[in-house]
Amino acid sequence: MATVTANGVQQENGFSTTNSAGRMNGLTLGQNTIPMKDHDAIKLFIGQIPRNLEEKDLKPLFEEFGKIYELTVLKDRFTGMHKGCAFLTYCARESALKAQSALHEQKTLPGMNRPIQVKPADSEGRGEDRKLFVGMLGKQQSEEDVQRLFESFGQIEECTILRGPDGASKGCAFVKFSSHAEAQAAINTLHGGQTMPGASSSLVVKFADTDKERTLRRMHQMAGQLGIFSPMTIQFGAYGAYTHTQMMQQQATLMAAAQGSYLNPMAAIAAAQMQQMAAFNVNGLVATPMTPSSGTSTPPGISATAVPSIATPIGVNGFSAIPPQTNGQPASEPIYTNGIHPYPAQSPTVADPLQQAYAGVQHYAAAYPAAYAPISQVFPQQPAIIPQQQREGPEGCNLFIYHLPQEFGDTELMQMFLPFGNVISAKVFVDRATNQSKCFGFVSFDNPSSAQAAIQAMNGFQIGMKRLKVQLKRPKDANRPY
């Protein structure tokens, strides 16, 4: 309990709040003490906190080292969800140093599998300009390995490998030097210079995102989340903006609910944020009716009235979705509406393996009429500025595809698998240096039966001289030794 001494200096637990320098940490007005902090106080970042601990629960743990000026649990800006970390400022600088040495990596809070982090917040050292993001590390490389790699460039203040919830490395890290120049020197020498064992491309060394960039990234990620509504059910048209906004609100609500915060006011804030994004997010995927000859039939989930009239049953990016039946002639050149052909101008001959592939896929599409819908871009003059998020579906919904034609990109991959269900993500792996496809990729559906149907139909599917290999993606922890 706090007591007030005769001279008005507040005491807690028998400790004087006057620090070693003789400065008072509290301004006492009657019974109320307004906390004051030293001018050289340090703001600490506290990491690895269980999400069920709030300020009141954390306070006792930290008060042991001195009077707390401010303790704030970090919450997600949009959902209000506890982020598992906090900022802590003691009134006295010394308390911060004591807490750091006593607690940092020294104990693990209940339910956490990594030790608590107690260190000066990034805002303290204006650390952003000397902090590096390191990508393309081998998954088995440790903090020590990374430290060895960087130590010759200067004094390393911090080295952290990013890990998933299970402790597995994400193949990237943060390395903070004591100066910008040291960090720059490391970039100059190490970036792109070598490929780590097990990494798919050469080492990436760059300055870490600033706060602003991080915020932008978050927004993009959130925009990408929209994709959990499959392209099949997303539509823009005369009422496009309304539909889109509605969808975003719904999305925000779902996100809040999914994260366990139920329906709280933050969802409304998130919805407002998303509306703002709606203003520039026009990665408009639109499903359109299947064939001209069956104009009354509409694929599941598509409301005929909402289909914009300017959309036509022509795939913009790859092959036509119309089975080549219009006049009884064999498949002719696909129709491109964006003026860009997916591969260099070539007269389409039957001998062209890729053309065969396209024709084959078209043929395949024809065999799955109910599921098949082409993709069109409704606002062709507006570039799709939100890139397709790479996202995994639930277990059993993610496919690994090998032996893709070199020319296949994300779009072609997606179109090839659309007949089997809602593709929530399609990603062809590309070599960073050459921008060339590595001829394998991933497709994620929103349900396992679509994935199974795709395996059944497409595994062994011949394209040119190669046969596709289509199988379930290995789960992340599959090849971990013990």
The residues that touch DNA, with contacts defined as CB under 7 A, are 47, 84-85, 122, 131, 133, 135-136, 158, 160, 162, 170-172, 174, 176, 199-201, 204, 206, 208-209, 214, 217, 390-393, 398, 400, 402, 425-427, 429-432, 438, 440, 442-444, 469, 471, 473-474, 476
Q: Which is nearer to DNA, 457 or 472 (CB)?
A: 472
Helix (H) or strand (E) holding 95: helix 93-103
User: Tokens at residue 462, please?
Assistant: 């011949």
When the beta carbons of 207 and 336 are compared against DNA, the nearer one is 207
Q: What are phi and psi for residue 405, nearest 5 degrees?
A: -60, 145
Between 12 and 122, CB nearer to DNA: 122
Q: Which one, 276 or 471, has the nearer CB to DNA? A: 471
The pair of structure tokens assigned to 7 is 């001279």
The SS3 of residue 262 is coil
Do 253 and 264 meet the contact criterion of CB atoms below 8 Å apart? Answer: no
- Between residues 55 and 395, which has the closer beta carbon with respect to DNA? 395
Q: Rounded distance, CA 134 to CA 390, Å?
A: 20
Question: Which residues are CB-neighbours of 481 under 8 A, at least 6 positions away?
Answer: none
Q: How far is the CB of 424 from DNA (least distance, A)?
A: 8
Give SS3 for 438.
strand
- What's CA 338's distance to the chain center, in Å? 29
CA distance 65 to 169: 33
* Nearer CB in complex with DNA: 23/218: 218
Beta-carbon count within 10 A of 34 CB: 8
Whether 141 and 159 have beta carbons less than 8 Å apart is answered as: no
CA 178, CA 185: separation in Å to the nearest integer? 12
The residue among 213 and 333 lying less far from DNA, judged by its C-beta, is: 213
224 Cβ contact list (under 8 Å, min separation 6): 386, 387, 388, 389, 391
- Of residues 170 and 363, the one with the C-beta less far from DNA: 170
Nearer to DNA, 118 or 286 (CB): 118
Q: Is the distance from CB of 306 to CB of 241 less than 8 angstroms?
A: no
CB of residue 207 to DNA, shortest distance in Å: 8
The token pair that represents 430 in the structure block: 């590309």
- Minimum distance, C-beta of residue 397 to DNA, in the bound complex (Å): 8
Say how far apart CA 56 and CA 60 lie, in whole Å. 8
Instruction: Please name the amino acid found at residue 344.
Output: P
CB of 45 to DNA, least distance (A): 8
Write out the two tokens for 349: 């001959």
Cα-to-chain-centroid distance, residue 302: 28
Shortest gap between Cβ of 400 and DNA (angstroms)? 4
CB of 285 to DNA, least distance (A): 16
Half-sphere exposure of 35 (CA within 13 A, CB side): 17
CA-based diameter of the chain, in Å?
Answer: 102
Task: Tell me the closest approach of the beta carbon of residue 129 to DNA, in angstroms.
Answer: 13
CB of 265 to DNA, least distance (A): 24
Cα three-residue angle 370-376-380, rounded to 5 degrees: 175
Task: Write phi, then psi, for 71 (nearest 5 degrees).
Answer: -140, 120
- Minimum CB distance to DNA, residue 427 (Å): 3
Q: Report the candidate in 37, 108, 23, 39 with the shortest Cα–Cα distance to residue 68.
A: 37
- Least distance between DNA and beta carbon 61 (Å): 19
Compute CA distances 223 → 33, 283, 285, 357, whole Å: 45, 10, 14, 33
If the CB atoms of residues 24 and 430 are measured against DNA, the closer one turns out to be: 430
Q: At closest approach, how far in Å is the CB of 135 from DNA? A: 3
Identity of the residue, 11 or 147, whose beta carbon is nearer to DNA in the bound complex:
147
